[in-house]
């Protein structure tokens, strides 16, 4: 694969993912009422996401492909899980729900009243929630382990322990603070924890900038790919990738990345 193609695959998919999901409709249940007025763009967006999410996973793989240690191996395995699972989540939640709403909107009002609870049940099904959780967790693990992978060997064990702690803290915050707020304003407590995790990596990680940005990319996108967390996560990922690629071009007078 040529370097030019690698650069395209590294930077274009996250950019498109972030930009497109700036326009992702947000709604409160019931699902039919929340989506029906956006149904045309809802279906188009999720069909595009069905292609973009696997390409995003490929971009993350390209970022770590030339880094060879245990943490980078964890990243690659996590991405191998993320790509099909998160694409499946997009198909089930986005496209599947959109098709149900598209078909229901032509029904008589009395029939819509009967079908709407079934659409809500589909949206809140255990299968959908499980697929979403597995895909999101895989992405978070990939980003946290990538932060560890770029850490110099003498500091890697400390940063690995920190990554495990951040994974546990982030999981608690998402389950207890973020998920209950879906459809409403994200609690300030969740934002404080998310950025507190980044600060912890900024203090202990090295090189600090990409490690911190990768933690944010994992935490924010792992919470949700819609606005505001999804686009912010893509901005963090792109910034980390740009930093690391620029560092590769620095004069080879040091074996370590800059702080």
Measure the CA–CA gap between 228 and 224, rounded to whole angstroms. Answer: 8
- The answer on pLDDT for 72 being more than 90 is yes
C-alpha neighbours within 13 Å on the C-beta side of residue 233: 26
Q: Could you tell me how many residues make up the chain?
A: 259
What integer best gives the mean pLDDT of the chain?
94
Note whether 35 and 6 are within 8 A (CB). Answer: no
Output DSSP code: residue 21.
Answer: G
Cβ contacts of residue 1 below 8 Å, gap of 6+?
none
pLDDT of residue 41: 97
CA nearest neighbour of 166 among 137, 134, 201? 201
With bands split at pLDDT 50, 70 and 90, how would you rate the model's confidence at 259? low
- The answer on pLDDT for 258 being more than 60 is no
pLDDT of residue 248: 83
The mean per-residue pLDDT over the stretch 79-99 comes to 97
- The answer on pLDDT for 1 being more than 90 is no
Note whether 126 and 137 are within 8 A (CB). Answer: no
The mean per-residue pLDDT over the stretch 230-244 comes to 98
Q: Is 126 exposed, middle or buried (0-12, 13-18, 19+ CB in 10 A)?
A: exposed
Q: What percent of the chain has pLDDT over 70?
A: 96
The mean per-residue pLDDT over the stretch 19-24 comes to 97
- The answer on pLDDT for 256 being more than 70 is no
pLDDT of residue 254: 46
The mean per-residue pLDDT over the stretch 149-165 comes to 96
């Amino acid at each position: 694969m040529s370097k030019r193609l690698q650069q395209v695959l590294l930077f274009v998919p996250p950019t498109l993912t972030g930009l497109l999901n700036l326009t992702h409709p947000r709604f409160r249940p019931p699902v039919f009422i929340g989506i029906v007025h956006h149904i045309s763009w809802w279906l188009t967006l999720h069909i595009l996401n069905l292609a973009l999410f696997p390409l995003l996973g490929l971009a993350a793989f390209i970022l770590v492909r030339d880094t060879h240690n245990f943490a980078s191996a964890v990243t690659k395995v996590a991405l191998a899980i993320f790509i099909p699972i998160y694409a499946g989540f997009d198909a089930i939640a986005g496209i599947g729900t959109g098709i149900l709403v598209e078909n229901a909107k032509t029904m008589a009002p009395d029939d819509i009243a009967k079908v709407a609870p079934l659409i809500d049940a589909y949206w809140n099904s255990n299968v959908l929630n499980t697929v979403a959780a597995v895909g999101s967790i895989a992405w978070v693990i990939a980003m946290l382990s990538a932060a560890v992978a770029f850490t110099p060997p003498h500091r890697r064990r400390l940063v690995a322990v920190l990554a495990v702690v951040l994974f546990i803290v982030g999981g608690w915050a998402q389950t207890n603070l973020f998920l209950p707020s879906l459809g409403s304003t994200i609690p300030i407590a969740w934002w404080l924890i998310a950025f507190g995790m980044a600060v912890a990596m900024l203090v202990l990680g090295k090189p600090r900038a990409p490690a911190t940005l990768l933690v944010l990319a994992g935490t924010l996108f792992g919470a949700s790919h819609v606005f505001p967390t999804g686009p912010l996560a893509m901005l963090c990922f792109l910034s980390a990738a740009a930093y690391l690629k620029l560092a590769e071009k620095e004069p080879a007078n040091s074996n370590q990345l800059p702080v």
